[in-house]
Amino acid sequence: MSEHDSHGIQEPNRNAAAIWGAGGRQYDLVSFAISDALAHTVQRLSPKPSDKVLDVATGTGWSARNAARFGAKVAAIDISADLIDAARRLSAGVEPTIDYHVADAENLPFPDESFDKVFSTFGVIFARDHRRAASELTRVCRKGGRLCMSTWSPTAPLPDSSL
């Protein structure tokens, strides 16, 4: 078996992809439960209509849609094909159109410095190899660009998503 599948997902990450994707579009309810923090992160990113923006580990695309509503040209990736499928369906009609891909944060399928702004809302923190993911986020962001992340601390309580 090769190290990567056709989406560049590393073999050791495929189990995580299946677990994250198990709820399909129902994951959007979790994003709704933390939507204030997601909106805050995108406001700090401050996307402009001329910006190319990447949302890493987008889930069902909640934050990608927030960024697109600023008029930015948004691409978004997630390790789960089921979540990307849900993101595409939930984003139907959003303009500008969001360019969704199944991809691994540790192995981003984009050239160096291809985005003005790169962000992740409670997403890339779940990558297996943090050093490698951080290196990928900085690689695809242009020099002088902006990188924003929202994270939970290891000791913080998880939000209540029993909506």
Ligand X SMILES: C[S@@+](CC[C@H](N)C(=O)[O-])C[C@H]1O[C@@H](n2cnc3c(N)ncnc32)[C@H](O)[C@@H]1O
- What is the contact surface with ligand X in residues (CB under 6 A)? 13, 16, 20, 31, 38, 57-59, 62-63, 78-80, 83, 104-106, 121-123, 126-127
The two structure tokens encoding residue 62: 């909640």
Which of 52/87 has CB closer to ligand X? 87
Which of 103/116 has CB closer to ligand X? 103
Start-end of H helices in 12-70: 14-21, 28-33, 35-45, 62-68
User: Shortest gap between Cβ of 83 and ligand X (angstroms)?
Assistant: 5
Which of 50/56 has CB closer to ligand X? 56
What's the CA gap between 2 and 17, in Å, rounded?
A: 17
What residues contact residue 84 under an 8 Å CB cut-off, 6+ apart?
58, 77, 78, 100, 101, 102
User: Shortest gap between Cβ of 8 and ligand X (angstroms)?
Assistant: 10
Of all residues in this chain, which one has the CB nearest to ligand X in the complex?
59
